[in-house]
Structure 1
Amino acid sequence: MVAEGDEAGLLSRRQSLWLTGAGLSLIAVCYGLARFAYGLFVPVFRAEFALDAGTAGAIASGSYVSYCLAIIASTILTPRFGGRAVAVAAGMTATAGVLIVAAAPTAGVLAVGVLIAGSSTGVASPPLAHAVAHTVPAPMRNRTQTVINAGTGIGVAVAGPIALLTHEHWRVAWVLFAIICALATLWAAFVVPSGPVNRSGATTADALIPRPLLPTGSGRLLTAAALMGAASSAMWTFGRDLLVSTGGMSESASSIAWVFLGAFGVLGAAAGDLSRCFGIRASWVTTMLVMGLATGLLAAYPGIVAVAWLASAAFGAAYIALTGLLLIGGTEVYTQAPAAGVGLAFLVIALGQAAGAPVMGALSASAGPFIAFIAAAAVAAIGAFIRPVVRRP
């Protein structure tokens, strides 16, 4: 097991790398498998459980709502029980939710499984941010945060080939997801440090309500997060369904598009370097515009394989980079409460997605998927100019 660190409470470089690997793996299974794999399987779920676009969007929205509740609970519990305990709870939640999806006999049970699995992402982010902020040396901290955050891309990239290989046997795919979730949970149990723990329950720097609640820069940070979440909801929920139902793309080609989305999402690990070289504001504008362009491109040419793959790759890289920029912003705006800062930023992303998913589903059902995706692209374009402002005290 990784020790808590040196005399100053910081991990060595080797220990920090182990933490990075374990954290990246946990984020990969919670986000890439337990949460976002739902969008990959929307076509087969719609056929299996006779779901229309509105119902599929509502289930996705429920997943985001459960995420919101979970991230609040995780932000409260992390300083009290430590990063390791809450991180392990996240992995166990992901494993349980994925298993429920695998065994779901009805649409109702499917929705319950998706809600539980989706909540694991809310549990995972604050303890990992807490552990990194308090135990990783400062020169490595931002890069460690953004590399761990890029685990989402790896998880999405892993889900694609599994879906392709299992094809119509989707339950087998979700059982495999559960096994991978369990393995990542074990790794986290042995590697993630607890960080500072306050078991007395007294107010700490990582309390649920940081002081001040809205420090300088928080308004723009949270508004940017909300618009980014809403703009991304169309792709995450209906991206593959658009390729199959509207574009007439084959199962293999649409699954490969999902692999590209995840694989290029790993490039989002460069968010820390982007923010250092160009600043968060300039990086945000460029990356949001890329995400909006990718969303619009997929809507315009859903039947052209090369365009779909390119758009998926660009979306994946942009999305992960944007979450990385918000993660850095959350830890820097809320310097005395990094877990609370990350929790608030990611909570607002999910609120944007929870609002966006049913709206995109309703738009798709009434006006067609093209209009829904163009609306999402427009939200991204607007959000590009709501730039997070990070002010260090």
Structure 2
Amino acid sequence: MSFGPARMGFGLFVPDFRATFSISTSTVGFVSSLGFTGFFLGLLAAQWMLSRRGPAAPVLSGMAAASLGLVIVALAPNLIMLAAGVFLASSSAGFAWTPFNDAVHRKIRCIDCPSVLSEISSGTSVGIFATGLAALWMVYAGVSWRVCWMAFALLALGVLVGNLVALGRLDKAPPARQAQPKWTNVFQTVALPLFSVAFVFGTISAIYIAFAVDYLAEAGGIPGLTKDTTPALVFVLYGIFGLTGLLTARLKNLIGLPWLLRLLMLAGALSLVFTALLPGSWVGLILSAGLQGVHVMMISALLALWSERLFPALPSFSFTAALLATAAGNVFGPSIAGLASTVYGAPAMFLAAALLPAVTLVALLGRRATRAICKVDY
């Protein structure tokens, strides 16, 4: 719920928001960045709550924020209220994600933790897939987008109750090894590749979420289908291919962390290239959404595994630091991309954005980067 409708729903419904609120491409970028700012602040608040109240408090706060934010969007009479709802709903992702790292280490055997963390991250795919199906239902049933968002809000309330039951049995007190962590504990040279990958990942994933759906729809949609179905199909394919995130731990063990990172950076770059060059075709849609889904879900899982390997005594704290780098990319990416799209056009903007993961891929080929990554690839 937090990473499906609450955080990514704005990008899916951009065409509807354009029609209702008459917003420009640059405004889309700023609203998207505002939402990701909520994600950034949610991460900070979650870490503060986690260290004092345990994992249940931030997760439940996040689902409450999602429910309220989704309701505000559903009822929004103007752009200001829409932006406020997007900000609040998106903050739920920051509240809800990292505390599960802490919860996993309290209740799951160490040998099973990598697989469980991958499964938790891949829950995003299910949320995105379901959001896409809801949008398809909206198109073919002829209902308003406001009905969809109100339904999302009710589902978020149900998820809040489910997590209250699941996490209520955990101890509120944090483990001894998590006591009084300091940011200087994770800001070390060995973590530079982690934070760099996280920032690039955050930048391009946010750009895709904010602009790809609207661009693919405006480019004419898919032959044989109405233009209104394109946004929903993007999310459905994104979610289906994103389920590959369940294989992250196995692939990492099979080919190693350095090569997996390189392949995922390539997937992210190609996703943006296909978005720019092949809109209006089934091939372009499948490659664009599919590669982006693989890129996002596998890197999301890798950040959890990688940060834990670097700082095993601080699993949630180090993951929060990595996600703050991701959130920083989330905030800056859409704003800059929105302005660039207005000036130079969407295809040029997507191609320029593809340079970020491409350059990162080249940097990861260097021996120094490989040695730094392999220090924790065991």
Q: How does 1:193-204 map to 2 (within 5 A)?
A: 197-198=172-173
Per mean C-alpha deviation after superposition, the further-off stretch among 318-327 and 205-214 is 205-214
Shift of 1:185: 1.4
Q: How does 1:158-177 map to 2 (within 5 A)?
A: 158-167=130-139, 169-177=144-152
Residue of structure 2 aligned with 1:357, choices 334, 341, 349:
334
What is the letter of the counterpart of residue 83 of structure 1?
P
Aligned to 2:229: 252
Helix, strand or coil at the partner of 2:97: helix
Q: How does 1:234-245 map to 2 (within 5 A)?
A: 234-245=207-218
Q: How many residues align?
A: 363
* Contact 1:75–1:207 (8 Å) recurs in 2: no
Aligned to 1:329: 306
Aligned to 1:19: none
Aligned to 2:163: 188
Residue of structure 2 aligned with 1:214, choices 181, 184, 187:
187
Taking structure 1 as reference, are residues 233 and 244 closer, same or farther at Cα in structure 2, changes over 3 Å only? same
What is the letter of the counterpart of residue 336 of structure 2?
V
Q: How does 1:80-95 map to 2 (within 5 A)?
A: 80-95=52-67
* Contact 1:98–1:174 (8 Å) recurs in 2: yes
Residue of structure 2 aligned with 1:139, choices 111, 127, 141:
111
Question: Residues of 1 paired with 2:10 and 2:90: CA distance?
Answer: 9
Question: Residues of 2 paired with 1:207 and 1:75: CA distance?
Answer: 11
* Contact 1:99–1:174 (8 Å) recurs in 2: yes
Question: Residues of 2 paired with 1:164 and 1:314: CA distance?
Answer: 21
Helix, strand or coil at the partner of 2:261: helix
Aligned to 1:343: 320
Q: How does 1:3-18 map to 2 (within 5 A)?
A: none
What is the letter of the counterpart of residue 383 of structure 1?
T
Shift of 1:113: 0.1
Per mean C-alpha deviation after superposition, the further-off stretch among 32-41 and 248-257 is 248-257
Matched, 1:64 2:36: yes
Helix, strand or coil at the partner of 1:302: coil
Q: Which runs of 5+ in 1 are unaligned?
A: 1-28
What is the letter of the counterpart of residue 120 of structure 2?
I
Question: Residues of 2 paired with 1:89 and 1:181: CA distance?
Answer: 12
Question: Residues of 1 paired with 2:46 and 2:55: CA distance?
Answer: 10
Helix, strand or coil at the partner of 2:32: helix
What is the letter of the counterpart of residue 82 of structure 1?
G
What is the letter of the counterpart of residue 363 of structure 1?
A
Aligned to 2:90: 118
Aligned to 2:297: 320
Aligned to 1:22: none
* Contact 1:287–1:322 (8 Å) recurs in 2: yes
Aligned to 2:203: 230
Q: How does 1:276-315 map to 2 (within 5 A)?
A: 276-315=253-292
Residue of structure 2 aligned with 1:52, choices 10, 13, 24:
24
Aligned to 1:14: none
Shift of 1:217: 2.3
Question: Residues of 2 paired with 1:113 and 1:364: CA distance?
Answer: 25
- Deviating beyond 3 angstroms after TM superposition, the runs of 4 or more aligned structure 1 residues are 193-199, 385-388, 390-393
What is the letter of the counterpart of residue 389 of structure 1?
I
Aligned to 1:153: 125
Matched, 1:389 2:373: yes
Residue-by-residue CA offset, 1:88-134 (whole Å, 9 max, x unaligned): 11111111111111010000000000000000000011211110123
Aligned to 1:42: 14
Shift of 1:373: 0.7
* Contact 2:25–2:342 (8 Å) recurs in 1: yes
Question: Residues of 2 paired with 1:128 and 1:61: CA distance?
Answer: 25
Shift of 1:339: 0.9
Q: Which runs of 5+ in 2 are unaligned?
A: none
Question: Residues of 1 paired with 2:13 and 2:265: CA distance?
Answer: 26
* Contact 2:238–2:290 (8 Å) recurs in 1: yes
Question: Residues of 2 paired with 1:209 and 1:376: CA distance?
Answer: 34
* Contact 2:217–2:230 (8 Å) recurs in 1: no
Percent of residue pairs bearing the same amino acid type: 26
Question: Residues of 1 paired with 2:220 and 2:297: CA distance?
Answer: 25
What is the letter of the counterpart of residue 270 of structure 1?
L
Residue of structure 2 aligned with 1:129, choices 77, 101, 107:
101
Taking structure 1 as reference, are residues 71 and 208 closer, same or farther at Cα in structure 2, changes over 3 Å only? farther
TM-score, normalised to structure 2, is 0.91
Taking structure 1 as reference, are residues 206 and 368 closer, same or farther at Cα in structure 2, changes over 3 Å only? farther
Superposition CA RMSD, Å: 2.0
* Contact 1:206–1:339 (8 Å) recurs in 2: no
* Contact 1:68–1:347 (8 Å) recurs in 2: yes
Taking structure 1 as reference, are residues 262 and 292 closer, same or farther at Cα in structure 2, changes over 3 Å only? same
Question: Residues of 1 paired with 2:325 and 2:189: CA distance?
Answer: 17
Aligned to 1:18: none
Question: Residues of 2 paired with 1:253 and 1:50: CA distance?
Answer: 20
Matched, 1:179 2:163: no
